Structures are given as C-alpha cells and as structure tokens.
Chains A and B, each alone.
Chain A
Amino acid sequence: MLQGGMGIAIDRGFAALLRFECSHSHTNEKRGPAWGAAKDREAAMTLHRPESLEDALALLAGDAPRVLAGGTDLYPALQDGPAPAALLDITRIKGLCGITRMDDGWRIGATTRWSDICAADLPPCFDGLKQAGAEVGSIQIQNAGTIAGNICNASPAADGVPPLLVLDAIVELAGAGGVRHLPLADFILGPRRTALRDAEIVTALMVPDRAGQGAFLKLGARRYLVISMAMVAARVAMDGGKIADLAVAVGACGPVAARLPELEAVLTGCALADVADIVEGIPLPQIAPIDDVRASATYREEAACGLIVRAITQAAQASEQSHVA
C-alpha cells in the first residue's frame, strides 16, 4: 500500500520529525532549526493501543486520534507535516484480524494483513484479491499493510479495491451509534475521501458467496513496487463455453475504482472469443483517466481496455480448467 507515498520524492522528514522533538505546526515551515525547541517538546504524541473495540471507539470519540494499522500509507503521508497529537493503533484489538467463514460468505477482519489474505484458503473467486495482495508494495509491505487500511486510504490506485468490488464486498463500520454496513462502492467517495463518520472505524469487509474465478491485472512502469497506471479485476463463471456470470472493475482510471455494469450486461451469455470485439465497441464511461506523471489519459484508456480483455480471458480459462480438473 505504497500508493500514498510512492510518487513523492524520498524524504527523511517524518521519521526525523518523530525522532527529534518537533510536533507542532504553527507555521508552514518544513524543517527548521527550531526542532528541539522546548515549547515543541511539550507537545508529545500519544499512541493509544487499545485491546477492545469498545475502548477504541471511546478513545476515538475523545481526543480524535488518527487511526493507525499497518502504517504503510500513514507514515509516508505524514512526511514533513506535524506529528499527529494522537494516534490510535487498532492492530491489538481482538477480533479485528483474521478471516472467518460465515453462513453466507466470508468476513475479513479490518486488520487482516495482505500476506495473510494471500496465504488463506479461499474459493477461486478470491484469486483476484490474492493476486492484487501480492502486488501491494513488496513482501515487507504486505506483512504490515491491512485490507481496511487499503480502502480507508482511498487512493484511486489502491490495488485492493477493484477485486473487492467484483466480489460485491460490503464494509462493516462501527461507531458510537452502533454497527452499519455499506457496499464498498458507496464507501469510497473520491480520492482520499470515504463515507467514514467521525469516531467511526472499519471493522471488517464482508464478502458474500460468489460464483466463478477471480483474476487481477495491474499495469505499472516496472514489474514490482509500482503504483498502477491502470488495473482490472474480473470474476467470471463459465457455462458451456459461454460467460454465465461476470463482474469487472477498473482502478486508477478515474477518481474511484468502478464496476462496469454496462459491459457486464452485454458480455453475459457471450463466448470468450467475442469479448475483445465487444470491449472495443462499447463506450465505457467509467474509464475516465487523467494525465499524470505515470501515464497519459489516452494510454491509460487503451491499456485499460486491453487489461479488461486479458483479465476476463484469464479468469475464464482458469475457470474452465478447474472444471476439467
């Protein structure tokens, strides 16, 4: 989950800031000789590490700490900014970590790490999520970064979001008012914006039972450790050589990752061989990328269409092979 800091020039800021006694940002100065000033030293950061959800929610309602889990997005994002007055580490909360089989689906706890997801015994529809997990930063990042952190960071290029969208994932939130559920598509509102309310945290992602085989493809400037220029997740169930059930989502091609319902409707019932032509011919309003340092909008658009065809093909072929086996 390096999306937060990856594009930014390497900077020694935040760690230095934590190490030295500087915490208040009364000015916009990045770093200055006043680091060790006594007045700054008084404002120490508090780190809460509660063990129960109740305690965590009470703390959140108190001095409004920022929530910390794996920290892989949070630390780099802080950079040269002020150290927060308080952080709430949720990784010790019991019941928040791990994958549980429910009556009608799976519950992935908020602080479940990417490496745990990649190693979990899950049905084939989760293969796209696992493939995305293996692309999140590097092994060290996957050992720290959490699934809820990935969605709460709300980067348009979050690797975890498209595969969770094709799984129809639902976000479980807990706050003072109790527990509520939101479809993932309604939770992520825009770049770095979510539907999280004050003093509320994500406690889990609920994935209903879904048919088919998952796949995930990501295009970056190099093979490893990159932020996506475009990515696609697909979930495909085949029946008699035709697409029986299909879900497709694109990421890094707009302010938020999105499902492609028009394409899904048109492709259902089609043969795999027709997918490429149909994708080329249909307008896909969800693919509305921007030009940025990583790629031009035009390139992203073309690449996304190519990835859609490949991801569907990959999932469909794996699905048919597993039927044969």
Chain B
Amino acid sequence: MSNKMHIQLNVNGEAHEFLAEPRELLIYALRERLNITGPHVGCDTSHCGACTVTLDGKSVKACTMFVAQANGAEITTIEGIGSPDALHVLQESFREHHGLQCGFCTPGMITRAVKLLEENPTPTEEEVRFGMAGNICRCTGYQNIVKSILAAANEMNAQPSSSEAVGHNKVEAAE
C-alpha cells in the first residue's frame, strides 16, 4: 500500500512537485531528491544546525521536519544566497575573515546569519552569539564566525541599498 503524499515546494525560487513517503525528512528531500546539497546532515537531532534552511521566512532545521510538513512552503538554502560570481556580503565576509575551517557548518551558518541580519541589522557581539547559538562549529572557529557576521553587518549597513544607513552616513559625512 502506498500512502505517498503530494508535495509542492518552492526552493530558491524554483517550484518543485513530487510524491514523498510520509516519513521522508525535509533534509533528504532537498539533498537527494532535488540535489540541493548545501544544507548538510550533521547530527540528525536538531542540535548542530548544519541543516539550517529558511522556511517561510524563518530559520528552521531541516533534519527534524517531515517534507510533508513543509508542503506549500518557500524555502531558501545556501544555494539561493549569492552565487560563485556574485557572493553575498556574508559569504564574502566569511572568506575575508576566515569564518570557516573545514567548512561543513558554513552553509547552515550563513543561511542562519542572513536571517539574523534581517531580524537585527545592527547586532552586538552578544546578539550575534545568541542568534547563532543553534549552529555549532565543530572546528570551534566561533571567534572568526562572529567577526565575519559583525563585519558583514557593518558592510551591509554602509551599502546604499539600506535607506536608513544611507541617511545615517550622510549625517556623518555632513558633520
């Protein structure tokens, strides 16, 4: 007897439709069905955050969620953030500040950090550490990860795309 469920997902702007076993986890649907392998399987128990994706605007762990529960959702993975030719500010910042060692946690780190800076564009170091607490780096390279995120926040706030930041900079320039 098949009790497969009909699933529709929008991943990184692309629509997907398929039948899945009820027990299929979101992370495996992404990695093995859709070949979106940026989200990693680290611990399988929602501790490590390597599988972090953005689901309907919120950071979640794709390893502890059935794909059926994500039916109809919009999902962003690291593949939807920047491109090899045009890195996202956070990706560039991780490169610049050595925010990775082995790199296994990095897709989850950056996917989470993008949301963190949307939620709080001017975080303190404490707020970065708090907001990234669900992402574990087993190389323990936290210092540079935090540094990368803070530097990216500065960079993004200095860019003309943020009208508030532009206003702020103009005031400073006038002074």
Q: Measured between alpha carbons, how far is A79 from B49 in the docked complex, in Å?
A: 17
Contact B46 A44 (CB under 8 A): no
Query: Does A52 sit at the interface, judged by CB under 8 A?
Result: no
Interface centre among B47, B63, B116 (most CB of A within 10 A): B47
Query: Does B151 sit at the interface, judged by CB under 8 A?
Result: no
Contact A76 B45 (CB under 8 A): yes
Q: Nearest residue in A to B45 (C-beta to C-beta)?
A: A76
Query: Does A71 sit at the interface, judged by CB under 8 A?
Result: yes
* B interface size (C-beta, 8 A): 38
Within 8 Å by CB of A224, from B2, B44, B69, B129, lies: B129
Known: A76-B46, A138-B49, A140-B61. A44 touches B130 (CB 8 A): no
For chain A, the bracket of interface size reads 35 or more
Within 8 Å by CB of B22, from A5, A47, A138, lies: A47
Within 8 Å by CB of A140, from B5, B27, B52, B68, lies: B52
Q: Measured between alpha carbons, how far is A225 from B48 in the docked complex, in Å?
A: 10
Q: Nearest residue in B to A224 (C-beta to C-beta)?
A: B133
Chain B 128-166: CB-based contact to A (< 8 A → 1; otherwise 0): 011101110000000000000000000000000000000
B2 CB to closest chain A CB, in angstroms? 8
Q: Measured between alpha carbons, how far is A8 from B2 in the docked complex, in Å?
A: 34
Within 8 Å by CB of B28, from A19, A76, A83, lies: A19
Contact A140 B112 (CB under 8 A): yes
Chain B residues whose CB sits within 8 angstroms of the CB of A14 once the complex forms: 44-45
Chain A residues whose CB sits within 8 angstroms of the CB of B45 once the complex forms: 5, 8, 10-11, 14, 75-76, 79
Residue positions of A touching B, CB distance < 8 A? 2, 5-6, 8, 10-16, 18-19, 23, 42, 44-47, 49, 71-72, 75-76, 79, 83, 87, 89, 91, 115, 137-141, 143-144, 223-225
A to B CB contacts below 8 Å, 20 in the list: A10-B45, A11-B44, A14-B44, A15-B44, A15-B64, A18-B24, A18-B25, A19-B23, A23-B23, A44-B23, A72-B64, A83-B23, A89-B66, A91-B69, A115-B58, A138-B49, A139-B131, A140-B59, A144-B65, A225-B47
